[in-house]
């Protein structure tokens, strides 16, 4: 019960943000109740709604788990957008180069390719920070810009669907990628695919890594206290690079799933990163925080955050307000949730105090027994 009491605050924060959204809806002349009903229906109302919510949650979960790892090493990874793109590019190039692989080999190979692509795009800021003192916020912002242009260049150039050139329409997208790379659909008639299972497995793996392995311990130690870690003989720089690399790798996986779990099974660009990622590189950070910066907690957090995004889109369609409202609401939810964390922390501190007080009371008895 106590463990879950803290979850009240983010939920209350979301509700508060939605109330503000409701007032805005009323101001725009729309019926807020109709809007909220649409939201709930759009996120949870049917099998397809649930599948859409889950599909939206998958990249958030992978990015969120990656963020958690980086966060534990005390680095903020805001390069998720670029890392997602690189992961998608690596996997896409692989699928175009080796289209004849059977599904049993293709899917693991794609995941590895995406993992590597994202890892590289995470390792660069890691190495720049560790060895050249280039702050990771600067390098990831810049590398996001670079990744977008690289994507645009490749998709309108070397990787473009030859049919687009033939027809003269030149839509910047690949051909339909090899069907053996399609992530199998889990629920007939929906988009729910193997990506969801993969994401959850990686979340569990990240938990095991952080809390059950020496490398994970090092990352957490560096995050908690780099100076003490250095004295303890931990190679701090190497741990920072490792954390950003892994963080990027998980974002890269999100990129693979966004392409190979998509409706079109193509990689297509509208010229921006958001068009492809749907801001997952940023929203995943929020999901991670929502989940208490814990890989397992990020699972339900991503699902709820995905529901919020999917539901808000449905709201836009039903009450016909500009889609910009959805973006503003998304931001408001983030601000409210992150700001509410203080009460959660205070609650936990009180529990802690209470526990130690209890121990103090219990201890003399133990001494007596001895």
Partner 1 sequence: MAEFFTTAIIVSTVASTFRFATSYLYAAIGETFGQRSGVLNLGVDGIMLLGAFGAYYTVLKSGNLWLALAVAAAIGMLMGLAMAYASVTLQAEQGISGIGFYLFGLGLSDLLFQKLVGTPLPIDGFPNLRIPLLADIPIVGEMLFDHSIIVYGAFLLVPVAAFVLNRTTVGLNIRAVGENPEAADTLGVSVAKVRYFTVILGSTLAGIGGAALATELGIFQQNLTAGQGFIAVALVYFGAWRPLGVMFGALLYGFVAAVVLQLKTLGVIPLGASDLAAMLPALITILALVVAVQRERQPAALTKPYERGE
Partner 2 sequence: MKQLRNWTPAVLLVVFALVAAACGGGSGDTTTTAGEPAAEPFRIAVVAPSASNDLAFTQSMVDALNMIQSEMGGASAVEVAVTDGTFVVEDAAAAIKDYASQGYDLVIAHGSQYGGSLQEIAPQFPDVSFAWGTAGDTFGLPNVFAYEAASHEGGYVMGVMAAALSQSHVVGIVGPIEVGDAKLYVDGFKAGVLAQDPTADVKVNYTGSFSDVALAATAAESEIAAGADVLTGTAQMVVGAVGVAKEKGVLWFGTQADQTQLAPDIVVASQVYHWEVVLRQMIDLIKGGTLGGNAYVIDLANGGEVISYNPGFDLPAEVKQLGEDTIAGIKDGSIAVPRS
| Residues at the contact surface with partner 1, assessed by CB under 8 A | 28, 76, 78, 128, 132-135, 137-139, 141-146, 149-150, 152-153, 156-157, 279, 282, 285-286, 289, 322, 324-342
Contacted entry of partner 2, partner 1, none for residue 159, CB cut-off 5 to 8 Å set by kind? none
Report in angstroms how near the CB of residue 186 gets to partner 1 at its nearest.
31
Q: Does 316 bind partner 2 (CB under 8 A)?
A: yes
Q: At a CB cut-off of 8 Å and minimum separation 6, what does 157 contact?
A: none
Q: Which residue has the tokens 């990874």?
A: 77
According to CB under 8 A, which one of 324, 361, 365, 367 is a site residue for partner 2?
A: 324
Please name which of 66, 179, 170 lies closest in space to residue 114, comparing C-alpha atoms. 66
Query: What's the 3-state SS for 9-26?
Result: HHHHHHHHHHHHHHHHHH
Residue 367 neighbours by CB distance under 10 Å? 8
Contacted entry of partner 2, partner 1, none for residue 150, CB cut-off 5 to 8 Å set by kind? partner 1
Bridge partner list, 29: none
Quote the CA–CA distance of 168 and 182 in Å, as a whole number.
28
Contacted entry of partner 2, partner 1, none for residue 289, CB cut-off 5 to 8 Å set by kind? partner 1
Its sign, for the CA torsion 243, 248, 252, 253, is positive
Report in angstroms how near the CB of residue 235 gets to partner 1 at its nearest.
20
Contacted entry of partner 2, partner 1, none for residue 185, CB cut-off 5 to 8 Å set by kind? none
Q: Tell me how many residues contact partner 2 (CB under 8 A).
A: 65
User: What do you get for the CA distance between the two ends of the chain, in Å?
Assistant: 33
Q: Does 29 bind partner 2 (CB under 8 A)?
A: no
Helices (H) and strands (E) in the chain, counts: 16, 0
Q: Does 24 bind partner 2 (CB under 8 A)?
A: no
Are 175 and 162 a contacting pair, CB within 8 Å?
Answer: yes
Q: At a CB cut-off of 8 Å and minimum separation 6, what does 55 contact?
A: 191, 192, 193, 195, 196, 261, 306
Contacted entry of partner 1, partner 2, none for residue 260, CB cut-off 5 to 8 Å set by kind? none
Its sign, for the CA torsion 321, 325, 327, 333, is negative
Distances (CA, A) of 164 to 11, 161, 271, 340, 353: 47, 5, 17, 50, 66
Footprint (CB under 8 A) of partner 2, residues 143-162: 149, 152, 156
According to CB under 8 A, which one of 150, 237, 296, 351 is a site residue for partner 2?
A: 351
Contacted entry of partner 2, partner 1, none for residue 339, CB cut-off 5 to 8 Å set by kind? partner 1
Q: Does 54 bind partner 2 (CB under 8 A)?
A: no
Please name which of 242, 220, 218, 244 lies closest in space to residue 232, comparing C-alpha atoms. 218
Quote the CA–CA distance of 89 and 255 in Å, as a whole number.
8
Report in angstroms how near the CB of residue 340 gets to partner 1 at its nearest.
8
Tell me the window of 69-77, 101-109, 111-119, 345-353 that interacts with partner 2 (CB under 8 A): 345-353
Classify residue 179 by its DSSP letter.
Answer: G
Q: Does 268 bind partner 2 (CB under 8 A)?
A: yes
Residue 215 neighbours by CB distance under 10 Å? 13
Output 38 or 128, the one with its CB closest to partner 1.
Answer: 128
Output 43 or 147, the one with its CB closest to partner 1.
Answer: 147
According to CB under 8 A, which one of 138, 184, 211, 354 is a site residue for partner 2?
A: 354
Tell me which residues touch partner 2 (CB under 8 A).
Answer: 5, 8, 11-12, 15, 18, 31, 33-34, 36-42, 48, 52, 55-56, 149, 152, 156, 167-173, 176, 189, 258, 262-266, 268-272, 274-279, 310, 313-314, 316-317, 320, 322-324, 327, 343, 346-347, 350-351, 354
């Amino acid at each position: 019960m106590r463990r879950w009491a803290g979850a009240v605050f983010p939920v209350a924060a979301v509700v508060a943000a939605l109330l503000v959204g409701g007032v805005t809806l009323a101001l725009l002349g729309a019926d807020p109740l109709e809007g909220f009903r649409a939201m709930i229906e759009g996120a949870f109302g049917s099998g397809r709604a649930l599948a859409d919510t889950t599909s939206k949650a998958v990249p958030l979960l992978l990015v969120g788990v990656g963020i958690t790892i980086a966060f534990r090493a005390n680095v903020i990874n805001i390069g998720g957008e670029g890392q997602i793109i690189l992961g998608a590019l690596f996997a896409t190039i692989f699928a175009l180069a080796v289209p004849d692989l059977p599904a049993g080999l293709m899917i693991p190979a794609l995941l590895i390719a995406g993992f590597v692509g994202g890892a590289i795009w995470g390792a660069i800021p890691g190495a720049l920070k560790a060895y050249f003192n280039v702050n990771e916020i600067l390098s990831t912002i810049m590398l996001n810009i670079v990744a977008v242009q690289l994507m645009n260049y490749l998709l309108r150039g070397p990787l473009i669907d030859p049919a687009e050139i033939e027809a003269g329409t030149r839509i910047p997208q690949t051909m339909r990628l090899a069907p053996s790379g399609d992530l199998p659909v889990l629920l007939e008639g929906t988009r729910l695919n193997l990506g969801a299972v993969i994401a959850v497995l990686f979340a569990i793996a990240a938990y095991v890594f952080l809390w059950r392995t020496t490398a994970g311990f090092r990352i957490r130690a560096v995050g908690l206290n780099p100076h003490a870690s250095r004295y303890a003989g931990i190679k701090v720089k190497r741990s920072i690079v490792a954390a950003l690399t892994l963080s990027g790798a998980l974002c890269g996986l999100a990129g693979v799933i966004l392409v190979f779990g998509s409706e079109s099974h193509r990689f297509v660009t509208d010229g921006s990163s958001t068009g492809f990622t749907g801001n997952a590189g940023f929203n995943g950070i929020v999901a991670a925080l929502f989940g208490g910066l814990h890989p397992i907690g990020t699972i339900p957090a991503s699902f709820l955050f995905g529901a919020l995004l999917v539901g808000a889109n449905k709201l836009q369609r039903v009450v016909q307000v500009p889609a910009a409202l959805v973006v503003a609401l998304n931001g408001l939810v983030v601000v409210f949730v992150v700001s509410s964390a203080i009460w959660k922390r205070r609650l936990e501190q009180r529990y802690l105090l209470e526990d130690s007080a209890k121990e103090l009371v219990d201890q003399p008895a133990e001494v007596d027994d001895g």
